[in-house]
Structure 1
Amino acid sequence: MRLQEAEQAISEFKRLTGNARYTLDLKLIYVENGVDFTLSYGDMDERFYFSMMFMYADIINQVNEDETAELFDEFEERLEAVVLKTEGIGRDFHDHLAELHAQIRWI
């Protein structure tokens, strides 16, 4: 996986569209695919996990900034599923994502 290229593509998408909801969806797809990738191919390096956690934290921040809770309602099942799928993945990845998920103000 080329993490930096994917991150840059998400940033470019955000810049070009200005659509926060679609950008959040794209960020979540990035994390979901990262989790699936490590489940398929095994333990990754720290940079990989850091990238996934940073992106997940960014998603949580965006959900928390939404005063209407619409983003929470739309994405909560997927946000929780990501955490559940990481059970047993090394480098405390699951614990970090669970801590981030617990910071959602709408829970």
Structure 2
Amino acid sequence: MKLIYVENGVDFTLSYGDIDERFYYTMASMYADIIDQVNEDETAELFDEFEERLEAVVSKTEGIGWGFHDNLAELHAQIRWI
């Protein structure tokens, strides 16, 4: 569910334009929770299941303001299975 939230937030921004810093902070916080869950999974099942979607979210944020893309890219780089 958390990944759907982030995906929808990114799609909303791409459709309707830049939002405020608090919105992006919330989205990045949710993405960080997802990365934590992926890293806690000892079998890498979650990574295998969501790898493409996690990468796609980061790719789609290129050019979005408030440092959002950079923040998500840094979080994505913390995935231990990469």
TM-score (norm 1): 0.76
Equivalent residue, structure 1, for 2:18: 43
**Count of residue correspondences:** 82
CA-to-aligned-CA distance 1:19-46 (integer Å, 9 cap, x gap): xxxxxxx100000000000001111101
> Pairwise CA RMSD of aligned residues?
0.4
1:96 aligns with 2:76: no
- Write the letter of the residue equivalent to 1:69: A
2:3: which partner in 1? 28
Query: What 5-or-longer segments of structure 2 have no aligned partner?
Result: none
- Return the letter of the residue paired with 2:39: N
With normalisation by structure 2, the TM-score equals: 0.99
What is the aligned counterpart of 1:83 among 41, 49, 58? 58
Q: What is the CA–CA distance in structure 1 between the aligned matches of 2:25 and 2:63, rounded to whole Å?
A: 17
**Which secondary structure does the structure 2 equivalent of 1:71 belong to?**
helix
Distance 1:47 1:98 in 2: 18
User: Which consecutive segments of 4 or more residues in structure 1 shift more than 3 A?
Assistant: none
Larger Rg: 1
Letter in 2 for 1:101: H
